[in-house]
Amino acid sequence: MVTNADLLALEGKPGNFTAKLNIRPRYIDADACTACGLCTQYCPKHHVDPYNEGLAITRPIHIDYAQAVPATYYIDPSSCMYLQHDTCQICVPVCQSHAINFNQKPEARDLKIGAVILSPGFGKIAPETLEKYGYGKHPDIVTAFEYERMTTASGPFLGEIKCFSDGRHPKSMAFIQCVGSRDIGCNNGYCSSVCCMYAIKEALVTKEHDPDVDITIYYMDIRTQGKDFDAARERAEAIGIKFVRAKVADVTPWENHLKLTYSTLDGQHKFESHDMVVLSVGLESPKDAEKIADITKIDLNHYNFCKTDTFSPLQTSQEGIVVAGAFQGPKDIPESVTQSSGAASLASSVLKQQRGKGTVSKEYPEELVVTDDDEVRIGVFVCHCGINISSVVDCPEVAEDAGGMENVTYYTENLYSCSQDAQEQIKNTIKEKKLNRVVIAACSPRTHEPLFQETLKDAGLNRNLFEMVNIRDQCSWVHANEPEEATAKSKDLVRMAVSKAAHIQPLPEQTVPVTPKAVVLGGGVAGMTAALSLADQGFDSVIVEKSAKIGGNLQNLKNTLAGDEVAGYLKTLTDNVKKSKRIDVITDGRLAQTSGFVGNFASVIESGKGTKKKELTVDHGVIVVATGGHEHRPDKYLLGKSKKVLTQQELEKQLAGRAKNRAPDSIVMIQCAGSRGDDLNYCSKVCCNHAIKNILKIKEINPASQIIVLYRDMRTYGYAEDAYLEARKKGVIFIPYEVDRKPEVSQKSGKVQVDFFDSIMQEEVSFNPDLVALSVGVVPDGTAELSKMLKLPVTANGFFLEAHVKLRPVELAVEGVYVCGLAHGPKPVDETIVQAQAAAAKAAIPLVKGYVKVDPIVSSVEKDACIGCGICVSLCPYGAIQMIKVDKKRKAETISASCKACGICASHCPTFAISMGGFTNEQLVSQIEAFGNKKVEEKVVA
Amino acid sequence: MSENTFSPKILGFLCNWCCYAAADAAGVSRFQYPPNLRTIRVMCTGRIDPSFVLKGFLEGADAIFSGG
Amino acid sequence: MGKAILHREGAVMILGGGIAGIQAALDMTELGYYVYLVEKSAAVGGVMAQLDKTFPTNDCSL
């Protein structure tokens, strides 16, 4: 990790680049800094805090936020008194660990690298654009980024929302959407794709703070097209957040309020007063986009984002350089995370020859054998954490108290237990005092347990012979004004830990080998891309396709919205799959059965029909689910009953034909036909783009064609907004309809008639078009069956539910199973390709390692005590317990690699046959007993 | 003598992934709360055997807190 | 000032330490490559670290 660094130059070719960096000094020695924060307290100079969007003041010497990585303070030279005026230096003597070093100089560094991933993020909308909405003229007009910091509990105002003008709590708030997006005035014609979501989120958060506050969101289209995003919008409406479809012209101060002037669709101008106005600012291309493009020689698009194309969405114009995140185009967190994994997949194929050569592996001393017969020798280390703990808790007293406890052979205190020298000291003490259990009272095991466990390993102790007591985050920090009680609490917690420690046992490190092969379910673009990415990284896979031919939905498409021809791409893709020596394709195939766990699956695949039916068993390490979806066919709007009513996909086919009348003179398109609360409860994300694509094709064939689009929200997010604008410019009429006033389609004497309410002219309209096209949405294929077989959860809408919607978007709840494409949720082809590449990267991880490590805190079954009742099997949320036969008796057995250590099995086992590593009944009971030991009665102060 | 002399002993079982994490976050934000809670970290509240709760009461807890 | 030249086989440079860069770095490490994560500010995390909660679940983002 190289922070404070600028890229100056990049030379070379894929596999062999040289990057020249300039590393700016932090003026603080990162290894010595303990992030105690004393320096910031003493620093006399103020510094506007960019982390808090300038809403707070910090000091030149600071850390952006407590969890920052690296957890090292730094000095911002722009406001430091010493670096600017050669005075002060008060921080130097204040720092107890002598970390401050004003002699640091900028450092030049060359990196030899094989591939580059660009992820510089996004930039901010220019102030001139914000000024159009009065930003800067009145303090109560804020950007959504500023507002985010204002609502944050750990932010500068501790989450209290106040008007900057006079400190009152706002009772009426407005969010203005599309500030700096969909605005050709500032050359940002694109939709930023995130603002609708964050505005709704911030509005919901505001309502949590104060349910009485009145919130209005002024919007053109609400674009909550992401998976399950519409539900949040509905939740917002349900709790009274108002959505007004309008263009805001202007915001002006008016007495102590703000006056919004806006125009609604029907052409009316209206005014509304609000206490506070939040500007939902869009995402701009990064400030240094041009510089990056210059250095790396990649092409940018007309909005200064990185240029890529639909079928290779992460590949820049330079080989060996890939892109991920908002620099590829404005996008939200899950999309970014997915792109990152996809980019890793691409970079990995560039570098596969060099894989594993640059990584470092560490060696450990042989592990000391600790058995039940050995005397328990516990060492207790009490950390001061600088003054973080010791300013509240009496550390010497806690340590001394620990010294008097049973089994404790050694106790001491550290200024910082986590510091390099303390680690050495702990290691030496373990050896010298022959300690076989270590208890450290410091901060949270969630952050520091791995570090100390590493120390134990270095000292030759099994890493599980360790227990951590949290006397900082959960004691000194939260009881700052009650030092005596905090000290008493620390003693109790230490006693409980010592008591547990006496019962902890070394747990063996378990590893399970991996079969380096993938089964890919589905032979559409997602499945094929995933298999090809795996092949590029050097792994075999088997594609199981249920139909007679690979290709999937792409076979029904002619062009993409960006104009790329689909058939050619599909042919290349299928040819590559067929050519690849690493990919086997089974058509007419079906997954009949799967058993095993990550690294060691065995699947039975059936193929063929009737007499040709075959069964094949495949051993494999991972599964990629790419089972896809298909166009929904709602029983509405005369679909299937009239020849003049088509779906968008059918229309696309007709438009690609040769008949002269293939683009009729008048067409009505109905969006959300059967979607968003109708047959389907969700937005299918692709239909708006699909409609626009067909519209432009129609206009190309028959420019005079009259087209009316009846829609709820046009969700042409990202660059698709350009095409939407083009359609409008070509005279296509877009009319929104309300969900309680849907258009109606009827048939009279061979003519179709569409009746709808024209919300622009405010009148009922009847129209007899030549054709009606329905945007019908996407439904997943066979997820119910597969979900049962593989124990994979699905959402209420029948799509597979990812392990974490933000951070693990292609992994599923069962380890070793990954998802991509329409099986995960409706999405366009470029997002499907990225997701498939991401799934391939994630799937490759266990395959590269060759083994899966099992955290030893998993459950284990004592076979003699098990009565084979099977309660644990039915309760396990991860499918990690199976029943086996031992001497003709049913017994439970843990599949360690799948176990997540939740302990549900152990707590429900009627015979206490199941135990959890590191959390045994014995250990927890002794901890509870130690809790009872306390003579609290005496402590009650009268 | 103050009226609120009752200072309960509370034993808490905190899930490593959510409640324990939240308790850490409370610390990071320096939220202050009464020091009556003694916690035991578990990997999931599913681990809590009903007997642990009873045992806690037997050991003199006035209340048991389970956070997950 | 001396110039440090770092050379490792199978290394990748990731420019930008926001959520995208961090995720790419984690994945590349797991895939067996050495990663240089190059960030222009003093800490990685990017904009996501500034967020309080995330849409649509309003989970904590840190």
Tell whether the model's pLDDT for residue A274 goes beyond 90.
yes
Which has more confidence, A87 or A727?
A: A727
Residues in chain A within 8 Å Cβ distance of C28: 117, 344, 347-348
Domain check: are A184 and A270 in the same one? yes
Give the per-residue pLDDT at C53: 57
Tell whether the model's pLDDT for residue A742 goes beyond 80.
yes
The answer, for A151 touching chain B at a CB cutoff of 8 Å, is no
Among A477, A505, A533, give the residue marking a domain's end: A505
Residues in chain B within 8 Å Cβ distance of A483: none
Percent of chain B with pLDDT over 70: 94
Domain check: are A657 and A672 in the same one? yes
Kindly state whether residue C54 falls inside one of the protein's structural domains: yes
pLDDT band at A851 (very low <50, low <70, confident <90, very high): confident
Lowest mean pLDDT among A368-377, A400-409, C51-60: C51-60
Q: Please count the residue pairs, one from chain A and one from chain C, whose beta carbons lie less than 8 angstroms apart.
A: 253
Tell me what the mean pLDDT of segment A905-929 comes to. 91
Q: Look up the CATH number of the domain holding residue A761.
A: 3.50.50.60
Tell whether the model's pLDDT for residue C4 goes beyond 60.
no
Percent of chain A with pLDDT over 90: 64
Best B14, B59, B62 residue to mutate vs chain A (most A CBs within 10 Å): B59
Give the per-residue pLDDT at A855: 75
Kindly state whether residue A352 falls inside one of the protein's structural domains: no
The answer, for A118 touching chain C at a CB cutoff of 8 Å, is yes
Give the model confidence (pLDDT) of A554-605 as tens digits: 999 988 888 888 999 999 999 999 999 999 999 999 999 888 888 889 999 9
Q: Look up the CATH number of the domain holding residue A387.
A: 3.40.50
**Which of A46-55, A170-179, A441-450, A657-666 is modeled with the greatest confidence?**
A170-179
Domain check: are A78 and A127 in the same one? no
Lowest mean pLDDT among A144-148, A451-455, C49-53: C49-53
Cβ–Cβ gap A5/C40 under 8 Å? yes
Domain check: are A217 and A242 in the same one? yes
Query: Distance from C8 to chain A by nearest Cα, in Å?
Result: 5
- Which chains reach chain A with 3 or more Cβ–Cβ distances below 8 angstroms? B, C
Kindly state whether residue C19 falls inside one of the protein's structural domains: yes
Give the per-residue pLDDT at A359: 65
Kindly state whether residue A230 falls inside one of the protein's structural domains: yes
Query: Distance from A352 to chain C by nearest Cα, in Å?
Result: 8
Tell whether the model's pLDDT for residue A4 goes beyond 50.
yes
Instruction: Select from A26, A116, A145 the Cβ nearest to the Cβ of C15.
Output: A116
Both structure tokens of A453:
């466990």
Best C3, C5, C19 residue to mutate vs chain A (most A CBs within 10 Å): C19
Cβ–Cβ gap B29/A902 under 8 Å? no
Query: Distance from C37 to chain A by nearest Cα, in Å?
Result: 5
Tell whether the model's pLDDT for residue C52 goes beyond 90.
no
Tell whether the model's pLDDT for residue A66 goes beyond 80.
no
Give the per-residue pLDDT at A898: 76
Kindly state whether residue C31 falls inside one of the protein's structural domains: yes
Instruction: Select from B6, B9, B26 the Cβ nearest to the Cβ of A478.
Output: B26
Domain check: are A75 and A176 in the same one? no
- Containing structural domain, residue A694: 631-779
Domain check: are A227 and A170 in the same one? yes
Domain check: are A169 and A212 in the same one? yes
Best A439, A474, A858, A920 residue to mutate vs chain B (most B CBs within 10 Å): A474
Q: How many alpha carbons fall within 13 Å on the CB side of residue A462?
A: 20
Q: Which residue blocks in A720-825 are alpha helix, DSSP H? A: 720-729, 783-790
Give the model confidence (pLDDT) of A815-839 as tens digits: 899 999 999 999 999 999 999 999 9
Which has more confidence, A732 or C49?
A: A732
Tell whether the model's pLDDT for residue A941 goes beyond 60.
no
Among A461, A479, A505, give the residue marking a domain's end: A505
| Ranges assigned E (strand) in A712-864 | 733-736, 744-748, 751-758, 763-767, 771-774, 778-780, 802-804, 808-812, 817-819, 851-854, 859-861
User: How wide is the angle at C-alpha C55 spanned by C-alphas C50 and C59, nearest 5°?
Assistant: 70
Lowest mean pLDDT among A670-674, A934-938, B40-44, C13-17: A934-938
Both structure tokens of A212:
């009485």
Q: Does the interface predicted TM-score (ipTM) exceed 0.85?
A: yes
Domain check: are A593 and A483 in the same one? no
What average pLDDT does the structure give for chain A?
90
Which has more confidence, B30 or B12?
A: B12
Interface of A with C in 729-758 (CB under 8 A): none
Give the per-residue pLDDT at A329: 94
| Closest alpha carbon within chain C to A229 | C56
Q: How many alpha carbons fall within 13 Å on the CB side of residue A899?
A: 30
Give the per-residue pLDDT at A822: 96
Domain check: are A492 and A550 in the same one? no
Query: Distance from B64 to chain A by nearest Cα, in Å?
Result: 11
pLDDT band at A416 (very low <50, low <70, confident <90, very high): confident
Residues in chain C within 8 Å Cβ distance of A72: 42
Kindly state whether residue A668 falls inside one of the protein's structural domains: yes
Give the per-residue pLDDT at C56: 44
Cβ–Cβ gap A903/B33 under 8 Å? no
Domain check: are A691 and A821 in the same one? no
Residues in chain A within 8 Å Cβ distance of C60: none
pLDDT band at C8 (very low <50, low <70, confident <90, very high): low
- Which chains reach chain B with 3 or more Cβ–Cβ distances below 8 angstroms? A
Q: Look up the CATH number of the domain holding residue A906.
A: 3.30.70.20
Strand partners, A542: A519, A584
Under DSSP, the state recorded for A64 is: S
Best A33, A109, A117 residue to mutate vs chain C (most C CBs within 10 Å): A117
Kindly state whether residue A114 falls inside one of the protein's structural domains: no
Among A231, A255, A284, give the residue marking a domain's end: A284
Kindly state whether residue C2 falls inside one of the protein's structural domains: no
Kindly state whether residue C23 falls inside one of the protein's structural domains: yes
Give the per-residue pLDDT at A897: 75
Strand partners, A69: C44
Best C5, C7, C27 residue to mutate vs chain A (most A CBs within 10 Å): C27
Give the per-residue pLDDT at A918: 87
Both structure tokens of A859:
């459950």
Cβ–Cβ gap A473/B23 under 8 Å? yes
pLDDT band at C2 (very low <50, low <70, confident <90, very high): very low
Tell me the whole-structure pTM to 2 decimals. Answer: 0.79
Give SS3 for A292: helix
Give the per-residue pLDDT at A49: 87
Domain check: are A658 and A768 in the same one? yes
Give the per-residue pLDDT at C54: 54
Query: Distance from C52 to chain A by nearest Cα, in Å?
Result: 5
Taking the C-alpha atoms of residue A396 and residue A525, their distance in angstroms, rounded to an integer, is 65
Instruction: Select from C5, C12, C50 the Cβ nearest to the Cβ of A351.
Output: C12
Instruction: Select from C14, C19, C40 the Cβ nearest to the Cβ of A333.
Output: C19
Give SS3 for C20: helix
Tell me what the mean pLDDT of segment A386-398 comes to. 90
How many folded domains does chain C comprise?
Answer: 1
Cα dihedral angle (A575, A580, A581, A586), rounded to 10 degrees? -60
The answer, for A805 touching chain C at a CB cutoff of 8 Å, is yes
Lowest mean pLDDT among A97-101, A155-159, A934-938: A934-938
Which residues have C-beta within 8 Å of that of residue A147, sequence separation ≥ 6? Answer: A202, A278
Kindly state whether residue A1 falls inside one of the protein's structural domains: no
Tell whether the model's pLDDT for residue A782 goes beyond 60.
yes
Taking the C-alpha atoms of residue A571 and residue A577, their distance in angstroms, rounded to an integer, is 10
Residues in chain A within 8 Å Cβ distance of B37: 489
Give the model confidence (pLDDT) of A206-225 as tens digits: 988 889 999 999 999 999 99
Which residues have C-beta within 8 Å of that of residue A23, sequence separation ≥ 6? Answer: A2, A4, A5, A106, A107, A108, A109
| Closest alpha carbon within chain A to C10 | A354
Tell me what the mean pLDDT of segment A277-282 comes to. 95
Which residues have C-beta within 8 Å of that of residue B54, sequence separation ≥ 6? Answer: none
A421: amino acid identity, one letter = D
Taking the C-alpha atoms of residue A189 and residue A183, their distance in angstroms, rounded to an integer, is 5
Instruction: Select from A154, A444, A933 the Cβ nearest to the Cβ of B29.
Output: A154
Both structure tokens of A367:
């592990």
Q: What are phi and psi of A10, to 5 degrees?
A: -140, 125
How many folded domains does chain A comprise?
Answer: 6
Q: Look up the CATH number of the domain holding residue A50.
A: 3.30.70
Taking the C-alpha atoms of residue A685 and residue A174, their distance in angstroms, rounded to an integer, is 27
Give the per-residue pLDDT at A318: 93
Which has more confidence, A421 or A513?
A: A513
Percent of chain A with pLDDT over 70: 98
pLDDT band at A518 (very low <50, low <70, confident <90, very high): very high
Give the model confidence (pLDDT) of A654-679 as tens digits: 998 877 678 889 999 999 999 998 88
- Containing structural domain, residue C26: 11-60
Kindly state whether residue C46 falls inside one of the protein's structural domains: yes
Tell me what the mean pLDDT of segment A899-914 comes to. 90
Kindly state whether residue A926 falls inside one of the protein's structural domains: no
Kindly state whether residue C6 falls inside one of the protein's structural domains: no
Under DSSP, the state recorded for A109 is: E
The answer, for A324 touching chain C at a CB cutoff of 8 Å, is yes
Domain check: are A646 and A751 in the same one? yes
Which has more confidence, C3 or A693?
A: A693
Tell me what the mean pLDDT of segment A163-192 comes to. 92
Kindly state whether residue A871 falls inside one of the protein's structural domains: yes
Tell whether the model's pLDDT for residue B16 goes beyond 90.
no
Cβ–Cβ gap A21/C38 under 8 Å? yes
Tell me what the mean pLDDT of segment A278-291 comes to. 94
Cβ–Cβ gap A474/B27 under 8 Å? yes
Cβ–Cβ gap A927/B9 under 8 Å? no
Kindly state whether residue C4 falls inside one of the protein's structural domains: no
Which has more confidence, A871 or A152?
A: A871
Kindly state whether residue A325 falls inside one of the protein's structural domains: no
Tell whether the model's pLDDT for residue A481 goes beyond 50.
yes
Tell whether the model's pLDDT for residue A790 goes beyond 60.
yes
Give the per-residue pLDDT at A362: 67
B interface residues, A as partner, C-beta within 8 Å: 1, 5-7, 9, 11, 16, 20-21, 23-24, 26-33, 35, 37-44, 46-50, 52, 55-56, 58-61
DSSP of A186-243: GTB-SB-SSHHHHHHHHHHHHHHH-TT-EEEEEES-----STTHHHHHHHHHHTT-EE
